[in-house]
Amino acid sequence: MVFHLRPPLSIVVENFLIAEGYGAADFVGRPGEYSIRGGIVDVYPFSSVCPYRLNFLDTVPAVFRFDVDTQLTTAKIKNFKLLSTAGGVLRSLEDVSLNQFLPIKFNGINEVCVGFGKLITYKIRLDVLTHNQFLDKDHSLFNSINVLDGLSSVGVVDQKKNLFIPDWFIKKGVGSGRDRSLGSVPLPLQMSEIKRGDFLVHRDHGVGRCLGLVIKGGGGDVQEFLAIKYSDGGVLSIDVGRLDLVGYFAPSGADDIKLDSLSKRGV
């Protein structure tokens, strides 16, 4: 008897994404990134205006959209297709006419290069800015702030300090930045900015360690919870709809952080 062992679907998807040039990230925030947490795969397709969350925990995989800032699931979708861009047939440059094309390439280190190889005639430095970074920045540092229709997920800053942003950056809120000088008051929780192991504080249960997001349920009835572990080993699961009860306390490497106990608080 021969047994054929197949790898989990999430591993198959990860191998595909790596072959397609996607980069691993703790939290997906821009096109070309993916993140895997067990049977949950977050991916931001290169040509998409929004990221997707693939749930392989159930017998039938499910696909959802999610918000890059809060990292919360927003809606389930029925149809999803992730096309391969690396599977095309490559041809020699001798077989391709470039007379009518201006060669422009993004080199992966935030530079747009005009020209080929040693014949590059111009380089444009572009720094990427996420929505959270946009809120935190002092806007007086930019020579101009411009809404650009061609941008869908992130903003860019050119060498002359001109900022170009998607229109949803404005619609979602333009503040003067989040106030970081709050002393011992916990900062509002931003899911895209926390990592597994960071210290979080619950309004009623005190300080614990972040274990990450947990998805419970199956089929069309799926719920997300944020898991926090306390000193007595107890784990508290908070519905993502009640994250107003949780604040950021300290990074995972912080010293002298004393964890609270769920048992002492009657949970």
pLDDT per residue over 147-206, tens digit each? 887 676 678 888 888 888 887 777 655 433 333 333 344 555 666 667 889 888 888 888
Give the mean model confidence (pLDDT) for residues 84-98: 58
pTM above threshold 0.75: no
Measured between alpha carbons, how far is 214 from 228 in angstroms, rounded to an integer? 11
Neighbours of 209 (CB within 10 A): 19
Asked if the structure places residue 176 within a domain, the reply is no
**CB contact set of 264 (below 8 Å; sequence gap of 6+):** 232
Dihedral, 159, 143, 48, 240 alpha carbons, nearest 10: 120
pLDDT at 230: 92
In the listed set 122, 143, 171, which residue is the last one of a domain according to the structure?
A: 171
Q: Name the residue range of residue 148's domain.
A: 98-171
Most trustworthy range by pLDDT among 7-21, 144-158, 223-237: 223-237
Q: How far apart are the first and last CA of the chain?
A: 51
Per-residue pLDDT of 96-107, as tens digits, reads 555 556 666 666
Model confidence at 228: pLDDT above 90: yes
Per-residue pLDDT of 66-79, as tens digits, reads 888 888 888 888 88
**121 shares a domain with 160:** yes
Band the pLDDT of 43: cuts 50, 70, 90.
very high
Asked if the structure places residue 90 within a domain, the reply is no
Three-point CA angle 219, 46, 28, nearest 5°: 60
Q: Mean pLDDT across the chain, nearest whole number?
A: 75
**167 shares a domain with 195:** no
Asked if the structure places residue 201 within a domain, the reply is yes
Asked if the structure places residue 182 within a domain, the reply is no
The CATH number linked to 238 is 2.40.10.170
Asked if the structure places residue 82 within a domain, the reply is no
**109 shares a domain with 52:** no
CB 104 within 8 Å of CB 114: yes
Asked if the structure places residue 51 within a domain, the reply is yes
Q: Please state the domain count of the chain.
A: 3
**201 shares a domain with 152:** no
For residue 31, give the H/E element and its range.
Answer: none
The CATH number linked to 37 is 3.30.2060.10
Model confidence at 265: pLDDT above 80: no
Residue by residue, DSSP assigns 220-260 as TEEEEEEEEE-TTS-EEEEEGGGGGGEEEEE-TT-SSPPPP
Q: Which residues pair with 209 in a beta bridge?
A: 199, 229
Give the mean model confidence (pLDDT) for residues 2-23: 72
**167 shares a domain with 196:** no
Tokens standing for residue 119: 């014949």
Asked if the structure places residue 178 within a domain, the reply is no
Q: What SS3 class is residue 12?
A: helix
Of the chain, the percentage scoring pLDDT greater than 90 comes to 4
For residue 40, the 8-state DSSP code is E
Asked if the structure places residue 151 within a domain, the reply is yes
Give the mean model confidence (pLDDT) for residues 49-73: 84
φ and ψ of 133, to 5 deg: -65, -35
**196 shares a domain with 260:** yes
